[in-house]
Amino acid sequence: MATRTHWKKLINPDYLGAYSLDNPTMVVTIQSVSKETIVGEGGKKDEVIVAKLVGQKPMILNRTNCKVIAKLYGSNFIEDWFGKKITLYIAEVKIGGELVEALRVQPAIPKEGLPELTPSHEKWNDAVKGMSNGVTIAQIKTKYTLSAANEAALKKLIPKDDVQNPV
């Protein structure tokens, strides 16, 4: 199939937009975030928040996306976002009474951005203790990646009666 070009890529080729995604989602790494002045349609100047992304065009961040990133990584400070991974997706939003496609940040840390929990990890014993107190494997997997072998090892350390909702 021949390569096709979305018309919006010709209007705003300098920034990432919903039209930039070839797949339903895209994982990116934030390199930096800053305030910049951009020139929009008709020469109108706007101050916007721009995320520079590793290996991608920059992305203009609206309030919604900033709030999601702040919540994901537990910090309202942009410097704490540098080096963090986010997953972008296309959402339909209503603007001026019209449904349009918008680029949004998923409210979940990409799995590839999570540290791996292994028996040598400093939080391993906390995970074991947490499971004894009702923490589930699914809850652990929201903060860490867990190989099948390490998941089995965690389950073996907890008496069967104590394992809550094993995955």
Assess whether pLDDT exceeds 60 at residue 57.
yes
Q: Is residue 31 domain-shared with residue 85, that is, in the same domain?
A: yes
Q: Does residue 102 share a domain with residue 20?
A: yes
Q: Which long-range contacts (CB under 8 A, 24 or more apart) does 31-38 make?
A: 31/82, 31/83, 32/82, 33/61, 33/78, 33/81, 33/82, 34/78
Which residues does 67 contact at the CB level (< 8 Å), separation at least 6? none
CA distance 113 to 28: 10
Is the Cβ–Cβ distance between 110 and 27 less than 8 Å? yes
pLDDT (tens digit per residue) in 90-104: 999 998 999 999 999
pLDDT per position as a tens digit, 97-134: 999 999 999 999 887 767 778 888 888 999 999 888 88
Q: Which domain holds residue 140?
A: 114-162
The structural domain count of the chain equals 2
Is 124 a domain residue? yes
Boundary-marking domain end, from 70, 86, 109: 109
Tell me the C-alpha distance between 12 and 29, whole Å: 21
